[in-house]
Every structure is written in structure tokens, then in C-alpha cells.
Structure 1
Amino acid sequence: MQPNNYVSPPSSVYSYPGSSHTGRSLKSSHSQGSINDYSYTMEDVQFSGVGRKACATGMEKCKKYMRRIFKFRQMDFEFALWQMLNLFIAPHKVYRNFQYRKQTKNQFARDDPAFLVLMSIAFCVTSIGFGLTMGLSWFKIFKLLLWVVFIDCIAVGILIATAMWLISNKYLVRYIKGGADVEWAYAFDVHLNAFFPVLMILHCLQLFFINPLIVKDWFLSVLVGNTFWLAALGYYVYITFLGYNVLPFVKKSIVLLSPLLLLGTTYFISLITRWNITKALLWFYENRV
């Protein structure tokens, strides 16, 4: 077998050069440069993992994950930072490593909490910046942080991940011998991957434009503010699509891009009606905290 020319991310425990173990091969199922490059065969999905041991139950995986969440020395923060950067510039590379994890760890979902820890730090920093931009007191900034973390990200993420888990397993998973399904933890990981660019665009980059421009009563204010939302939610939809498209047993994943049509329509309607979405969000947060 020809060696894999893919350049491994820094310090990734999931990346490795081309291997000949058990006759598995990394194949390109599409043309060069496709997001499914280096995908594996259906037999790999059924029997991946050292010794072809059975997958651990979801509860066992959850317990193992929670035990590691406070063991910072065991976390690969460099790899997590690499993932965060590539979610903006090359998100398909992030999901290639999810494929490698299936072969080495026998699961698609992350077993290293480093990404979640760094994302929590990002929440703290951006929430403080957002609160200061809104002119909130420190107590209200703390309440805003709790709302963004536990409601906007976790609670909404659990609902979205559960819905996508049910929908994908019911309508998108292709039957194969031995069975295959989308892990709930993987569905939640896809949400976190997609939500991180939303957080950075709306709660970080947009901050520099809120007071001098977006909160004004100008059409340009509506245009700039709503364009931020279009970019952020467009990223969310696209990265979510990539997360399911990379799974070799998921069919017709292209339908996951259909919300882009609704998103574009809503964007143009908001411009016509001069509905400033960012100003509506600021009003909502002020009344919540």
C-alpha cells in the first residue's frame, strides 16, 4: 500500500503514517482534494480498533471523558488549537482526524476534553468583551456568561445534537452488514465544531462594529450586522454538513445544506424590512440578565 501523504497535525495522538495493519486501507472515495479523501471501507467501520474489540457503551465513554476533564496534563491542547484554527480555514481536515480516531480508538467522538476546555475559556473571554460592549455590570456579565454557556451552547446543543442523532440514524444511515450508526457524542461534537466559528464571529469579531456602527439607525448598520449573522450561521450549516458527510455509512447528507436556502431568504427579508438582528439580540440579553 502506498504511504499516506497527509501531513499530521501537531502533537496529534490520532495521526499516523500509512500503515498495513490488518489489511485496512485508507482510500480516496472521491477526486483529489475531496473532503472524503482517506476514507475507509465499510469493513473498517464494522471492525475498526485494535484487536477488533467491541465498542464501549455510551455510558462507559461518558464516564471516561468526565474523568479526564480535570486532568489537564493528559490533554492535547496543541492539537485542540490546531482543530480550532482549521475550523475556519480548512474544516475538512478536522474531520479527517475524526476518521483516524475511529480506526485507533474505535469511536468517532472525541475522548480528549481539551477542545471543550479551550472553548470554555473562549466563552469566558468573549462574554466579558460582549458584556463590556453592552455596558453591563460585572454581575450581569457573569449572568450573561452563564446564559451563553449553559443555554446558548449546551442546552441548545443537546437539543440539536439529539435531533440530528435521531434524524440521521432514522433517515440518513445506510444499512451495512454488522450495523453502523451515528454516535450521540459525535453529533454533539459536530455541534461544538460548528458553534465555535459562530461564537468567534458574533461574540468576538462583531464586537468591534457594534457601538460605532451596528446599533445605529442606518441601513448600513442592518447590512453589516445581519451579514455577520449570515456568515456565522452559514458556517454552522456547512461545518455540520461536513461532519455527517465524512461518515461513510451516511447517505444523502447533501440535504443538510438545505437550511442555507432558508438562511439566505431570511437575510434578504431582514434587509428589506430593516430588521437589525444584532440589536434584537442585545435587547434580548439586556432583558435576560
Structure 2
Amino acid sequence: MLTSVHVSKTENSSTRSPSDNGMMDDRHTAQAKRRKYFRRIFKYRQMDFDFAMWQMLYLLLAPQKVYRNFQYRKQTKDQWARDDPAFLVLLSIWLCGSSVGFGIVLSLGFVGTLKFLLWVVFVDCIGVGLLIATFFWFVTNHYLKLNNKNFQEVEWGFCFDVHLNAFFPVLILLHVIQLFLYMPVISYDYFLSTLFGNSLWLVAMGYYVYITFLGYTALPFLKKTIALLYPPSLLILIFYCVSVIINWNLCKSLMYFYKYRVK
């Protein structure tokens, strides 16, 4: 009985056509994964919003735990990037809510608020994210792999996910907390206003760099990922010190920039 089963399996594997193997491989291509991902955006019931909210919470509290799930996804679904667009959908909702808040604080009106929303979503988040993800995709695959001949490669989709992960704390700090504190605390020309506002920027940018570093450190086939942490952190710290010394209120500059570009 065992022999017959073994023979039948051998015959099935030997009679499998190359086209069948090709079809199986096509399911794991970047294009197929991308197509499946965007199809799920229009299928509300297939998205796990509870888990996406859990990720957002832990990106603020303990971002290391979020990337453990990425490792689990690689083991179970053979991909590092998210296959569920729930996180992107929730992030878009946060962006819409904060944009309305900025429209009220800056007195942009309905049309101005709509322009502001389009700028924030398609330029600040997605557009900049595409550039950053492509940059890190190129750098990690060409310079940070343990072995240049290693068959594993950093997925571009994973690089974009890392950007979205790092962008969320920035959004909370600079588009939510700053929004509530701008008029009563940050909008003045006092040194303490500049110190407080610029410290928000320091924490936000520090979060972005740290979460980005954690993302690429989670990939076991990359080396020297510490280079993604210390040099950017040092540059951010120097910029912060200089801005505070010369009393340059970064939050006020951001508000002026936001108001100028929608006019």
C-alpha cells in the first residue's frame, strides 16, 4: 500500500507540466501580491481592523512587537509585506481626521481643507513614502545583504510598510498632539514655545528613524542595519539643537507652509 502511494505521488509530480509550476510561481510574484492586496481594499469583511489597531497602538508603545508579526507572516505566507490593507485604510482615516482639524485651525475653508487633505495623503504620505521605500529597497538589496548572491531580497512592499509604520507616530505627534497644543502653547514667539514645539519634532523624527531601523533589523539576511539608526539620529539631533539655539519654531514654519501651498 505504501509503495503504491509513493509511486502515485511520483507519477503525479513527474507528469506535472512546466506551465503548472509557472502558475504556482506566478502566485508569489510581486505583481500578484500587489493585485491581491489592492483587491482586498474593496472587501471590508476581509480586512482585520482589530489587528491593524493593535499594530498602531504598539507602534507607539512597543514597536518591536509589530515586527515579530512580520516575521510570523514570512513563515506562514512566504512574504514579509502586509497582505491586509486594513492598516492603510485606518491610516487614511487618521489623515482625513487630522486634515479636517488643520483646516479648522488654519481657517482654510472647505476647498482649502480638501486641497490640504489631497496634499497630505498623496504627497506627504504616499508620494514621499514611494521615494523613501524605493531608496531603502535599493540600498538594502545592494549594500546590506549578508551575501550578494543570497536568493532572498528585500520586498519593495515591505519597505513601503516600514515607511507606513514609521509614519504613524509622526502623524500622531505632528498632526494630532501638535494640533491641540498649537494655539495655546506653540504658536508664540517665546523660547519655551519653540523648545516645546521643536521637541515634538525631535521625538517624531526619532520615532521615524527608530521604527525604520527596527523594520530592517527584523530581516535576518541583512547586515550592518545599525547604519540606519545612528547617522540619521545624529543629524536630527544636531538640527534640533541649532533650531532651538536660533529660536526657529519648526511647528510655526510647518503651519505657514501648509497654509501657503493650498492657496
- Aligned with 1:199 (options 152, 156, 171): 171
Q: Residues 141 and 133 (structure 1 numbering): CA distance in 2 closer, same or farther, change over 3 Å?
A: same
Unaligned 5+ runs, structure 2: 1-23
The match for 2:14 is none
Report the equivalent of 1:211: 183
Contact 1:55-1:106 at 8 Å conserved across structures? no
SS at 1:181 equivalent: coil
Of 88, 93, 100, the residue aligned with 1:121 is 93
Alignment pair present for 1:275 and 2:248 = yes
2:146 matched to which residue of 1? 174
2:28 counterpart residue number: 56
Query: In 1, are the aligned partners of 2:166 and 2:208 still within 8 Å (CA)?
Result: yes
Say if 2:259 is the partner of 1:286: yes
CA shift, 1:53, in A, is: 6.9
Pick from 49, 67, 71 the counterpart of residue 43 of structure 2: 71
Q: Tell me, in whole angstroms, the C-alpha distance in 2 between the residues paired with 1:164 and 1:249.
A: 15
Percent of counterpart pairs with the same letter?
A: 59
Residue 98 in 1 paired to residue 59 in 2? no
How far apart are the structure 1 equivalents of 2:117 and 2:43?
24
| Other-structure match for 1:16 | none
Q: CA deviation at 1:119?
A: 0.5
| CA-CA distance at 1:213 after TM superposition | 1.9
Paired with 1:219 and 1:83, the residues of 2 have a C-alpha distance of 36
Q: Which amino acid aligns with 1:142?
A: L
Deviation at 1:157, TM superposition (A): 0.3
CA distance in 2, matches of 1:220, 1:192: 31
CA contact (8 A) 1:234 1:260 kept: yes
SS of the residue aligned with 2:240? Answer: helix
What aligned pairs does 1:229-244 form with structure 2 within 5 A after superposition? 229-244=201-216
* Moved segments of 4+, more than 4 Å: 52-55
Q: Determine whether 1:139 maps to 2:100.
A: no
Q: In the aligned structure 2, how far is the partner of 1:100 from the partner of 1:153?
A: 27
Change (3 A) 1:280 1:178: closer
Conservation of the 8 A alpha-carbon contact between 1:176 and 1:249: no
Q: Is the 8 A contact 2:191 2:247 kept in 1?
A: yes
Q: State which of 233, 236, 243 in structure 2 corresponds to 1:263.
A: 236
Does the 8 Å CA contact 1:194/1:237 hold for their aligned counterparts?
Answer: yes
Q: CA deviation at 1:161?
A: 0.3
Give the C-alpha shift of residue 83 in structure 1: 0.3
For 2:220 and 2:168, the matched residues in 1 are separated by 25
Partners of 2:25 and 2:222 in 1: how far apart?
Answer: 23
Contact 1:214/1:278 (<8 A) preserved: yes
1:89 aligns with 2:61: yes
Please report the TM-score for the alignment, with normalisation by the length of structure 1. 0.80
1:162 aligns with 2:134: yes
CA RMSD between the two structures: 1.5
Deviation at 1:139, TM superposition (A): 1.4
Q: Equivalents in 2 of 1:78, 1:132: separation in Å?
A: 30
Aligned residue type for 2:218: V
Alpha-carbon distance between aligned partners in 2 of 1:184 and 1:132, rounded to the nearest angstrom: 37
Count of residues in Structure 1 that have an aligned counterpart in Structure 2:
238
Mark the structure with the bigger radius of gyration: 2
Partner of residue 82, structure 2: 110
